[in-house]
């Protein structure tokens, strides 16, 4: 039984399937000493290398799909390492014995809120792909005059530099003066799409928070910079939503509907410790 090479690499935690296709196209992957090509299939007995480093393959049944919900603060980069030394969303995540955490999409440096991470590259790829139409909901504070005609244009669709875009739903949430809060929903994650849609109407976004991915909302008790691992029920919700088979095991002992007070205190202590370590690191750099 063989599988596509990019699928095997994604399951091994090297990145999303799309990223692995790019690696293969760039000649960065070899199979048994020979440069791999898109379309190659493997059965798991081969020696596979990425950038010269041997890949520890994971069998289909040996790896448990895990998902973290992270409350991203403003100022963090959605990259593993930043050349300017800025903090990244990966800095706070728990260490893995095998594989690595893969971000499900990105949030720009000035956006905060719900960001998912998973150990399953195929799941990450499907959740991100616009063809799956997985909803993302954002709370957005805008500065400027907003009228009904403008909102109707944003619902019907406007032309951006990378193609037409629209909000599937816009809900007014209140405000004062020229500052107003809206909740908006869309089903794709193009770069700065929410901001660019509002800017197309000459309205400035002054605050942007992702509050929902699919049907699961950001847990209110989760502090900025904190993460929580999702239980089996929520993991299988995401898997089912993109037509992947359900998981039967979980690293989470109990499926908790929310974060209790004791767990909230532990998360906050962990966030505070990380913040102190980051401050010490910044001082040493100076």
Please list the active-site residues. Answer: 108
Tell me how far CA of residue 104 lies from CA of 15, 177, 186, 244, in angstroms: 10, 36, 15, 16
Residues 42 and 48 sit within 8 Å (Cβ to Cβ)? yes
Angle at 113 between CA 165 and CA 173, to 5 degrees: 65
Tell me how far CA of residue 116 lies from CA of 1, 124, 229, 256, 283, in angstroms: 31, 9, 10, 17, 30
User: Residue holding tokens 């629209």?
Assistant: 166
Phi, psi (deg, nearest 5) at residue 107: -125, 135
Query: Which residues are paired to 117 by β-bridges?
Result: 68, 103
Query: Which residues are paired to 216 by β-bridges?
Result: 213
DSSP symbol at 119: S
């Amino acid at each position: 039984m063989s599988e596509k090479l990019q699928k095997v690499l994604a399951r091994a935690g090297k990145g999303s399937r799309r990223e692995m296709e790019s690696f293969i196209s760039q000649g960065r992957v070899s199979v048994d000493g020979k440069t791999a090509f898109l379309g190659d299939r493997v059965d798991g007995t081969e020696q596979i290398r990425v950038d010269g480093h041997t890949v520890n393959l994971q069998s289909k049944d040996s790896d448990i799909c895990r998902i973290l919900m992270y409350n991203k603060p403003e100022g963090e980069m959605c990259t593993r390492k930043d050349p300017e030394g800025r903090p990244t969303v990966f800095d706070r995540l728990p260490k893995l014995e095998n594989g690595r955490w893969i971000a499900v999409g990105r949030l720009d440096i000035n956006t905060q809120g719900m960001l998912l991470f998973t150990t399953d590259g195929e799941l990450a790829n499907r959740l991100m792909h616009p063809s799956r139409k997985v909803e993302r909901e954002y709370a957005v504070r805008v500065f400027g005059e907003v009228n009904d005609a403008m909102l109707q244009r944003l619902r019907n669709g406007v032309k951006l530099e990378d193609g037409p875009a629209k909000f599937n739903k816009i809900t007014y949430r209140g405000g004062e003066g020229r500052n107003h809060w809206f909740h908006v929903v869309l089903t794709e994650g193009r770069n700065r799409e929410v901001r660019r849609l509002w800017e197309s109407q000459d309205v400035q976004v002054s605050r942007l928070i992702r509050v929902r991915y699919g049907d699961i909302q950001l847990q209110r008790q989760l502090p900025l910079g904190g993460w929580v691992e999702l239980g089996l029920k929520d993991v299988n919700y995401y898997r089912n939503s993109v037509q992947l088979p359900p998981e039967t095991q979980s690293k989470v002992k109990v499926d908790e509907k929310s974060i209790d007070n004791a767990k909230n205190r532990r998360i906050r202590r962990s966030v505070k410790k990380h913040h102190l370590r980051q401050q010490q690191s910044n001082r040493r750099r100076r």
